[in-house]
Chain A
Amino acid sequence: MGIRNSGRAVAALTVIVGVLLLAPLVSSLPTGIGGSSIQTAGCNCHNGLSDSSVVADIQGFPEQYNASETYSLSISFTGGPAQEGNVNLGGFNLWASDGVFTPTDGLTQLWGGSVTEVAHTEAGNDYTSWVLDWTAPESGKDVDFILHVNSVNGDGVQTGQIDQWNRADYTLQSSFGVIGEVIPDAPEPFVVLATLILITLALVAVTILYGFYRSDPDGFSWETFSPWIVEWLTTTDHKRIGTLYFLAGLFFLGIGGIMALFIRVQLATPGNDFLTQDQYNQFFTLHGTTMIFLAAMPLINGFANWMVPLQIGAPDLAMPRLNAMSFWLQPVGALLIFTGVFSGQGADTGWTGYAPYVVDMVNGHDGNTFWAAGQIMLVASSTLTGVNFLTTIAVMRAEGMGWMQMPLFTWSILVANLMLFLSIPAFGVGLIQVYLDRVIGTAFYDVGAGGDPLLWSHLFWYFGHPEVYVVIVPAFGVISEVLATSSRRSIFGYRSMVFAMAGIGVVAFIVYGHHMFTSGMSPVLRFVTMVTTMLVAVPTGIKIFNWLKTMHGGSLVYRTHTLWALGFLVTFTLGGISGMFFPSIAMDTHLHESYFVVAHFHYVLVGGTVFGFFAAIYYWYPKMTGRMMDERLGTLHFLTAFISYNGVFWPMHRLGVWGMARRHHTYFISTDDFANLPPEAADWNLFISVSAFLFFLSNFIMVANMVISYLRGAKAPADPWGGWSFEWMTASPPPTPSFGRYEEGMWYDLPKLRDANEHVTSEPGRFARWFNRLMVPDDGNEEVVH
């Protein structure tokens, strides 16, 4: 693609991204979508614009306030819609920059989980005046008040254009001036998050720029940099797209980690107010969404893009442009998901987005709409990726490579994409329903109109449980490659490994009901789901035992990726064992939604998926960059991360058994009046929070190792570890195209796989023939006889 065409493509991409980002705003009201809160966006639930005929007032303000003194405030309004018979009743919202509001009767309530915002209750919705207390702050700074009142037309229809509202602003000074003890405002957590994201982006940009500069210091100029960066942004080469996926995945792994740290600071002590409830809910929602969809999935796609074509001896993926589109949908989806956060109204549903809360337009945030829109983009991306990989693996394997001669990492990507391809449409359907419910008022999840909230649970978990396996199965592939190569042996039980992965792929679709044991499931289905869920342990156990047996009689070389693979075996086994407690329904009634669940899935998703991909980074980095990583830094990374990781998640098992609920802004230590958590729970939470910081920081050792090794690492040979699959046949880094040459519409010099087994491979079995026909109707020679 020429530079001019590439530039046009970048411009077109920019326009598309802009349009997609702005699209949801088109249907919003003139004052915006609600903004960070009602005090900035106005009372647009009643009308788009304020009206001067409504006059808001607050009585009870002193001329100057005294520190910590409580004042009784009387809020009222006059005026409003003037049609005949109207009594002009309504509601209010009052926000203060400091101090504490205290409702004094059932007509007012604290709003948005904050003590500095107050509004009418449902019972107090039809009044013209309200009374409440405000306690002044201890510091001497000015306090701003913003009052909104609405006066309704009395016809009971809230969205009528003749409802009216207005706003009044006040500033109150202290009696002791601003010279006294001024407590600085705590930084707004979202501002901190945004700042950290921008710093991270800037560091990534500087690193890329420096890397480019170091590649040719004398030839560094905008004229050389510009085409280089445009080429990256418009590339269709599987290796470059893989790198983009990889960088995006690592970036969001960091962002998700930062959000986890916010959560851990909040939970470090009981009753902490580092985050408001509202902020906390958004942080854990975005943490889950980011880690699953924006970190784990792109990391998988990064390695899959890089390695699958190399492992099967293909020059690229079957549909390179579709591949590029799959990638670029991801940042668009991410921007949509995070846009809600930066309006202060981020998604607050949890990553599971349960209905009917997700379509709750009163208490639920506007960001839930953006969350659904962004997720729809990610669903589209995953679907296209699935099509591409299934096609590539089916039709582009090298000569001599039958289904049962594919490297296990490629098998894992095939199984993962099959699972994703069959499950994610259900999620997409659910998301579209949520989006329509929220944007144009359909009623898929509106109980009053006959909607069914449980439908969402079914659609979500039909996708959600296989999704967990979608992110862990590729790690199985990585561990199979790493352990076999490190042991300098062939993987033990190759066929049973393949069947175990396929078995997990099948069982994944009949177990999701265990997420709904407490949702009123019938006793018979509970039992059936219990048994099917427990069955997952059989293929998983086969894999663990096969990995262990692979080392038998081998010559295990300890490298950093070996350490991570062995660490994976420890943590994933622990996660698997704790997972066996949930299908046992009687125990699930206690452990469900507790920290035992949090411990379990982090042992599987971090101890499994992330550790697997740490192994993959150290294993394939030399192939991807042509540079060896520093083994001492790698070992240091493993030791610090492995220990601190267990410090974070192991104690959570005990907290869960004690009764600490997940997704809670705080936890309660037993008092003389009631029993809940024992006092040690607070100590363990503090320990977990400290360990979380150590775990987060330990991973910078790996990032530093990657950067330093890229700049100064020893040159990597084609096959540094002694692997057998095709990626080790080509140079490090591989050329483009990765294999062969393309002349006059034909590929030449593509690699051929030989087989060290003396037996003659039988004709493909019935299932393989059926699958071949399904995927490649005109190609009857895929399986090669030796």
Chain B
Amino acid sequence: MVLRKLWQFYEIFVLTLMRVRLFPTIGDKMADVTPLFDNLWNEYIIWSFLVGGFTFIWLYHHSLWYRSDEDEEWENKDGIEVGVFPKEYDNFTLEVAWTVLPFLLIVYLAIISWGPLDAVWTSAEADGGYGDECASGELSNMTWSESDGRYVAECYHVIYIEAYQWGWNFDCLEVSVPDLCEVGTAVVEGTPAASLTLKQGEVYLAVMGSADVTHAPWFVSWGVKEDVLYSQGTMDLNGDGLSDNLILTENGEYALSGSIGELGLMTVWLPAEDVENFLLLCTEYCGDNHAYMLAQINVNA
């Protein structure tokens, strides 16, 4: 009970300190992909203050308490003498304590950091909790699951993103309903850029490749980024003017030319939670116009 009270007091103390906007704060929005990210951030901030506060109070106390003047008398406790290895000054119990306690904290932090991973990445083996790919016109119906602590959905839509020096190509693949996915252009800072419009409440699996060097799309508002690598699949070896990752289907839409694993493409989950427009940046340095390799992501109701 006492410990819980102390912990509550500490949380209030840290929250009050965090009102000063200079510090990274509890409640700083880390990502929309899952509130688990925000919880993780908050927990890390609290522990940072605890560890930092402990260390700095100790530092300030000792550096002031044991201060002495140059000419002040002092006791040579450790036999300091030039050319003589001084008496060893140690305490086995203390040294074990500050080896074991940080280790336990690390185990705890590793466990809480483990949780949200599936919310970001998928693989050919894992569906990420979003079921199977949606049929044509089917909706994801994304909801928040208290028991899982994350979003779940009935199905997901697959879209394709290709990076090139210095822009983005989007393709809705077989997501043919315009409300669900639409590709267009926007003017960002006076420069034409690609735009991708998605629907709120839907889950998308972005399958990504690069047409030249390594890039990394950063969905800033969602707090997600992933490298996209130049690979055999993103070349146009068959000369049809398209990345070999894509083929033209009979109904005039593009589709992946093989499975994600076979093509070696990178993937990332994009649960479109809020209605918003934000920038897509490239965060893997890729040459001259790297900073202006922009796109606009729109999430409509």
B279 / chain A contacts, CB cutoff of 8 Å: 668, 674-676
B184 at the interface (CB under 8 A from A): no
Instruction: Please determine whether A538 and B288 come into contact, CB atoms closer than 8 angstroms.
Output: no
A167 at the interface (CB under 8 A from B): no
Instruction: Please determine whether A724 and B296 come into contact, CB atoms closer than 8 angstroms.
Output: no
B107 to chain A, nearest CB (A): 8
B36 at the interface (CB under 8 A from A): yes
User: Which of A549, A590, A662 has the most chain B CB atoms closer than 10 A to its own CB?
Assistant: A590
A453 at the interface (CB under 8 A from B): yes
Q: Considering only CB atoms, which chain A residue lies closest to B64 in the complex?
A: A556
Instruction: Please determine whether B87 and A756 come into contact, CB atoms closer than 8 angstroms.
Output: yes
B81 at the interface (CB under 8 A from A): yes
B95 / chain A contacts, CB cutoff of 8 Å: 493, 496, 542, 546
Instruction: Please determine whether B68 and A556 come into contact, CB atoms closer than 8 angstroms.
Output: yes
Please pick, from A277, A577, A581, the residue contacting B51 in the complex, using a CB distance under 8 A: A577
Which of A296-304, A322-330, A347-355 lines the interface with chain B?
A347-355
Docked complex Cα distance between A277 and B292 (Å): 9
B84 / chain A contacts, CB cutoff of 8 Å: 724, 753-756
A523 at the interface (CB under 8 A from B): yes
Which of B5-13, B136-144, B197-205, B221-229 lines the interface with chain A?
B221-229
A593 at the interface (CB under 8 A from B): yes
A589 at the interface (CB under 8 A from B): yes
Docked complex Cα distance between A349 and B288 (Å): 10
Instruction: Please determine whether B103 and A538 come into contact, CB atoms closer than 8 angstroms.
Output: yes
Q: Assess A570 versus B85: contact at CB under 8 Å? Given A363-B288, A663-B285.
A: no
B262 to chain A, nearest CB (A): 15
Instruction: Please determine whether A281 and B290 come into contact, CB atoms closer than 8 angstroms.
Output: yes
Instruction: Please determine whether B59 and A518 come into contact, CB atoms closer than 8 angstroms.
Output: no
Instruction: Please determine whether B22 and A488 come into contact, CB atoms closer than 8 angstroms.
Output: no
Please pick, from A355, A654, A757, the residue contacting B88 in the complex, using a CB distance under 8 A: A757
Instruction: Please determine whether A356 and B213 come into contact, CB atoms closer than 8 angstroms.
Output: yes
Instruction: Please determine whether B165 and A657 come into contact, CB atoms closer than 8 angstroms.
Output: no
A377 at the interface (CB under 8 A from B): no
B147 at the interface (CB under 8 A from A): no
Q: Assess A654 versus B22: contact at CB under 8 Å? Given A530-B113, A534-B109, A587-B40.
A: yes
| A interface size (C-beta, 8 A) | 116
Contact bitstring A745-766, B, C-beta under 8 A = 1, else 0: 0000001111111000000000
Instruction: Please determine whether A489 and B89 come into contact, CB atoms closer than 8 angstroms.
Output: yes
Which of B155-163, B174-182, B230-238, B249-257 lines the interface with chain A?
B230-238
Residues of A within 8 A of B (CB): 112-113, 271, 277-278, 280-281, 348-350, 352, 354-357, 360, 363-364, 400-401, 405, 447-448, 453-454, 487-496, 518-520, 523, 526-527, 530-531, 534-535, 537-538, 541-542, 544-546, 548-558, 566, 569-570, 573-574, 577-578, 580-581, 583-587, 589-590, 592-594, 650-651, 653-654, 657, 659, 661-666, 668, 673-676, 680, 718-719, 722-726, 728-729, 751-757
Residues of B within 8 A of A (CB): 21-24, 28, 30-31, 36-37, 40-41, 44, 48, 51-52, 55-56, 58-59, 62-63, 66-70, 72, 74-91, 94-95, 98-99, 102-103, 106, 109-110, 113-117, 119-121, 123, 165, 186-189, 212-214, 216, 218, 220-221, 223-227, 229-232, 235, 266, 276-279, 281, 283-292, 294, 296
Given A113-B288, A360-B212, A545-B94, 13 other A-B residues pairs in contact with their CB atoms under 8 A: A453-B213, A492-B89, A492-B90, A542-B98, A549-B94, A556-B62, A580-B44, A583-B113, A586-B113, A587-B30, A587-B41, A653-B24, A675-B276
Q: Which 9 A-B pairs have the closest CB atoms?
A: A590-B223, A756-B79, A490-B78, A555-B74, A665-B291, A555-B68, A584-B113, A664-B291, A593-B283
Sample (26) of A-B pairs whose CB atoms are under 8 Å apart:
A113-B288, A348-B287, A354-B213, A354-B285, A355-B214, A357-B214, A405-B85, A447-B230, A453-B213, A488-B76, A489-B89, A493-B89, A496-B95, A527-B114, A538-B106, A557-B69, A585-B117, A589-B226, A590-B37, A590-B225, A663-B285, A674-B188, A719-B82, A724-B85, A754-B85, A755-B85
